[in-house]
DNA sequence: TCGACTTATACTCAATATGAGCATAAATGG
DNA sequence: CCATTTATGCTCATATTGAGTATAAGTCGA
């Protein structure tokens, strides 16, 4: 009796191509890669790592457990099958010419406030949510839910946009019946590709976690090439978090924390003045790996 | 074939008595309460909640998943039995006259830097770690591990104490063979009660998570009585985090964030000038529940 | 009753951190 | 040569933070 078949590992494998965060998918972008826990795996983390590295051929940097959930439907139908899913966030560096990679913001256009597409998406969501709230019976409930919409989507400038609330925003849209996973009609749905099962929800969890991590931990560098300019680093930070940063202040903070050191090389193809290339000070930082990192992320 | 027997839920149920954080235990303080996932549970979270509330009779406030791990020994011996453990942090308010509650710092004396016991414990750890590192073969490894000791235990004032690194500190002591769980001789072990299996490790995870949470989320109030003075609140924050806060600055931040409102009552038994009583502004805050909370935690 | 001690609460002040802008340098392409 | 682009150095006002002073209002013991 092999009982470990019931444990499923789901990976949100993330990389950055150019400036754009991407996620590894299967089934034409409809699912996240997943696999069973095998008895040869020494631990869950090792299981994910081994399996993803075999699948992509790339070494994985940061691996982090996200969340474990019971698949409710499967519990009740007491047939054999997957019962517990454990999701992981994994970061890798490059992936030239591989298939299965999709942009984060194909699934969550509204999370990319930097882009025009994101802003129009947000404007549409605002109208749809307004309509959803208006259709509620109780006035008190109407007020409560509208407050929730306002604080999650930063409607009306009363509250600032919080880039870490990816999951909460998705859940609100789900409750409002504005995503395909909630079974709504396509014309009523918000823009953004849907996924099978609750995989888009898991992706939202991963995005939120990564956005939180890059603020305090030097994990961005797991996604960067060996050498990079400060603007490249800034662009990656911006596209991960979905918000703009002030260029000079960003440089100031990166430099004064001594997160990076010059390689001595110069990047010529900047389109303007050539830029110095930097590398992550992994060696020096490893010693004090528990000292926090501060990355400034502000609104435009 | 009931397959759900293999999933174990482990709860770190935390409350505060007086000013002291406590954890619910069984087996004379040697284990954390745990139970199997049942098919009647609608979700994992609901399972933990239902089961803990039945066990203690108290309503639970905040519940949060901590970590999922595979019990390695059980995987290899392919007998039936528990295989996956999912741990949770749960907060509750009061527990007058119940058994099983133990102080956090019975298990982690060194995490309570406020107390004299914590400081002597830390001084001893410093000596033991120094001895451990000195016995290493390679000089490079010696340097690397000593750096790790220094940054985790804030040895020599080169780096500040980080109260959120509870788990990392425990893991270092485990690797150094200084805790009973690592199979060391009692006279070589660091002070602090041990637990069965990896339960002390799970407790460390829970403490770290709660210390991180109370900084940015108003979860402290789940542990406070209905009405409290600002000093009581401060004392609870201090004993959860294990570090001192500056009284006036603490008040300033709490007040200007409008986390609390006056009840109008006065607490007379302060030992000094009577203090105003406050309650948590849950209603007002619920609307903007995603706005961050800032609690100042500094070194003495 | 007085005085030492405790806690509560208000306010000040200096050091930093942060957000935003200005200015200059060094490349490109017409 | 000039407009444009990016890089990089510097300033400045404001907000936040850490730490201290001052005063108020109780308790307790001699």
Residue in A47, A78, A165 closest to B290 by CB: A165
Q: CA A263 to CA A285: how far, in whole Å? A: 16
Asked if A50 has any chain B CB less than 8 Å from its own CB, the reply is no
pLDDT tens-digit map of A5-58: 478 899 999 999 989 999 999 999 999 998 887 766 678 888 888 888 887 778
The radius of gyration of chain B from alpha carbons, rounded to an integer in Å, stands at: 21
> What does the angle CA A218 – CA A212 – CA A174 come to, to the nearest 5 degrees?
150
Nearest CA in chain A to B283: A144
Q: Is B212 on the interface with A (CB under 8 A)?
A: no
Q: How far is A283 from chain B (nearest CA, A)?
A: 10
3-state secondary structure of B93: coil
Domains of chain B: 4-104 (3.90.79.10), 109-191 (no CATH), 217-287 (1.10.10.10)
Encode pLDDT of B98-139 as tens digits: 889 999 999 999 999 888 899 999 999 999 999 999 999 999
Is B294's CB less than 7 Å from nucleic acid strand C? Answer: no
Question: Residues A25, A67: contact at Cβ < 8 Å?
Answer: no
Interface residue A141 vs chain B (CB under 8 A): no
B122-131 residues labelled b (16+ CB within 10 A) or e (exposed): beebbebbee
**% of chain A exceeding 90 in pLDDT:** 61
Q: How far is Cα B134 from Cα A242, in angstroms, rounded to an integer?
A: 48
- Residue A200 in this model has a pLDDT that exceeds 70: yes
Least reliable range by pLDDT among A202-206, A278-282, B154-158, B278-282: B154-158
**B224: confidence class by pLDDT, cuts 50, 70, 90:** very high
Torsion of CA A31, A35, A36, A41, to 10 degrees: -150
CA atoms of B29 and A10, how far apart (whole Å): 35
A78 touching chain B per CB within 8 A: yes
**Chain B residues touching A291 at Cβ < 8 A:** 151, 159
pLDDT in tens, B225-273: 999 999 999 999 999 999 999 999 999 999 998 889 999 999 888 888 9
Q: Which residues pair with A70 in a beta bridge?
A: A84
pLDDT of residue B82: 47
| pLDDT interval class at A80 (50, 70, 90) | very low
Query: CA A223 to CA A238: how far, in whole Å?
Result: 13
Angle between helices A199-216 and A230-241 in degrees, nearest 10:
140
Please name which of B293, B285, B219, B63 lies closest in space to residue A148, comparing C-alpha atoms: B285
Which nucleotides of strand D lie within 7 A of protein CB? 4-11, 17-21, 24-27
Chain center to CA of A192: 14
Q: Confidence band (pLDDT; 50, 70, 90) for A282?
A: confident
Of A43-52, A196-205, B60-69, B228-237, the one with minimum mean pLDDT is A43-52
Q: Is the CB of A276 under 7 A from strand D?
A: yes
Residue-averaged pLDDT of chain B: 87
Two tokens, residue B217: 């989320």
| pLDDT surpassing 50 at residue B78 | no
Per-residue pLDDT at B23 exceeds 50: yes
Q: Helix, strand, coil % (nearest 5) of chain B?
A: 45, 20, 35
> What confidence score (pLDDT) does residue B83 get?
72
> Mean pLDDT throughout A202-207?
98
Answer yes or no: is pLDDT of B36 > 70: yes
Which comes out higher in pLDDT, residue B208 or B47?
Answer: B208
Across the interface, whether the CB atoms of B65 and A67 are under 8 A apart is answered yes
Question: What is the pLDDT averaged over residues B63-71?
Answer: 90
Distance between the alpha carbon (CA) of A242 and the C1' atom of D8, Å: 25
Q: Is B76 on the interface with A (CB under 8 A)?
A: yes
Structure tokens belonging to residue B125: 């750890």
Q: Which pLDDT does position A297 carry in this prediction?
A: 55
Cβ-defined contact of A290 to B147 (cutoff 8 Å)? no
Chain A residues with CB-CB distance to B75 below 8 A: 4, 39, 41
pLDDT at B289: 61
Question: Could you give the angle at the alpha carbon of B60 between the alpha carbons of B57 and B66, nearest 5°?
Answer: 125
Tokens of A285: 């930082």
Chosen for mutation from B287, B289, B291, B292 (greatest number of chain A CBs closer than 10 Å) is: B287
A159 in contact with B, Cβ within 8 Å: yes
DSSP string, B182-241: GT--GGGSPSS---STTHHHHHHHHHHHHHHHHHHSTTGGGTS-SSB-HHHHHHHHHHHH
- What digits encode the pLDDT tens for the residues A164-179? 999 999 999 999 999 9
Residues 226-285 of B with CB under 7 A from strand C: 229-231, 247-248, 251-252, 270-276
Beta-carbon pairs below 8 A across chains A and B: 91
Q: Is the CB of B138 under 7 A from strand C?
A: no
User: Which nucleotide lies closest to B229 by the C1' atom and the CA atom?
Assistant: C8
The residues near A211 (Cβ < 8 Å, ≥ 6 apart) are A163, A164, A166, A240, A241, A242
Contact between B67 and A65 using a beta-carbon 8 Å cutoff: yes
β-sheet bridge partners, residue A12? A89
Q: How far is the CA of B25 from the C1' of D16 (A)?
A: 41
Q: Locate the chain B residue with the closest alpha carbon to A77.
A: B39
pLDDT band at B84 (very low <50, low <70, confident <90, very high): confident
Q: How far apart are CA A241 and CA A249, in angstroms?
A: 16
> Rounded distance, CA B194 to CA B68, Å?
21
Backbone CA torsion sign across B92, B94, B95, B100: positive
pLDDT-based confidence at residue B97 (cuts at 50, 70, 90): confident
Spatial neighbors of A33 by CB under 8 A, at least 6 apart, are A10, A11, A13, A24, A25, A26, A52, A55, A100
Q: CB of residue A270 closer than 7 A to nucleic acid strand D?
A: yes
**Position with higher pLDDT, A30 vs A97:** A30
Report the nucleotide nearest the CA of residue B255, measured to C1'. C9
Interface contact B39-A291, CB threshold 8 A: no
In strand C, the nucleotides that come within 7 Å of a protein beta carbon are 5-12, 18-22, 25-28
Beta-carbon separation of A43 and B70 below 8 A: yes
Per-residue burial over A79-94, b if 16 or more Cβ lie within 10 Å, else e, is eeeebbbbbbbbbbbe
What's the CA gap between B102 and B28, in Å, rounded?
9
Which residues 141 to 170 of A reach strand D, CB within 7 A? Answer: none
Tokens 């400081």 label which residue? Answer: B119
Are the Cβ atoms of A68 and B65 closer than 8 angstroms?
A: yes
User: Residue for token digits 């000013």?
Assistant: B19
Question: Pick from B1, B159, B287: which is nearest to A147 by CB?
Answer: B287
The answer to whether residue A266 neighbours chain B at the CB level (below 8 Å) is no
Distance of alpha carbon A180 from alpha carbon A183, whole angstroms? 5
């Amino acid at each position: 009796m092999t009982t470990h078949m019931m444990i499923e590992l789901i990976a949100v494998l993330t990389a950055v191509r150019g400036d754009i965060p991407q996620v590894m998918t299967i089934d034409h972008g409809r699912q996240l890669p997943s696999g069973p826990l095998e008895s040869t795996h020494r631990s869950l983390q090792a299981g994910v790592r081994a399996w993803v590295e075999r699948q992509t051929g790339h070494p994985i940097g940061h691996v982090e457990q996200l969340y474990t959930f019971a698949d409710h439907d499967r519990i009740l139908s007491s047939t054999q099958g997957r019962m517990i899913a454990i999701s992981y966030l994994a970061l890798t560096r490059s992936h030239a010419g591989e298939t299965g990679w999709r942009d984060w913001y194909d699934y969550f256009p509204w999370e990319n406030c930097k882009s025009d597409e994101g802003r129009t998406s947000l404007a549409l969501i605002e109208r749809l949510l307004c309509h959803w709230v208006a259709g509620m019976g109780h006035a008190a409930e109407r007020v409560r839910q509208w407050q929730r919409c306002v604080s999650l989507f930063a409607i009306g400038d009363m509250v600032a946009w919080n880039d870490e609330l990816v999951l909460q925003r998705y859940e609100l849209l789900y409750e409002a019946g504005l995503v395909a996973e909630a079974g709504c009609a396509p014309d009523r749905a918000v823009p953004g590709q849907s996924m099978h099962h609750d995989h888009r929800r898991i992706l939202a969890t991963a995005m939120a976690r990564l956005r939180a991590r890059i603020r305090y931990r030097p994990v961005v560098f797991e996604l960067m090439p060996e050498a990079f300019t400060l603007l490249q680093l800034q662009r990656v930070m911006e596209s991960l978090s979905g918000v703009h940063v002030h260029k000079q202040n960003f440089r100031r903070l990166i430099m004064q924390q001594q997160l990076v050191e010059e390689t001595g090389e110069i990047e010529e193809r900047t389109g303007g003045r050539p830029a110095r290339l930097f590398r992550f000070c992994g060696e020096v930082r490893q010693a004090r790996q528990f000292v926090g990192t501060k990355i400034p992320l502000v609104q435009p």
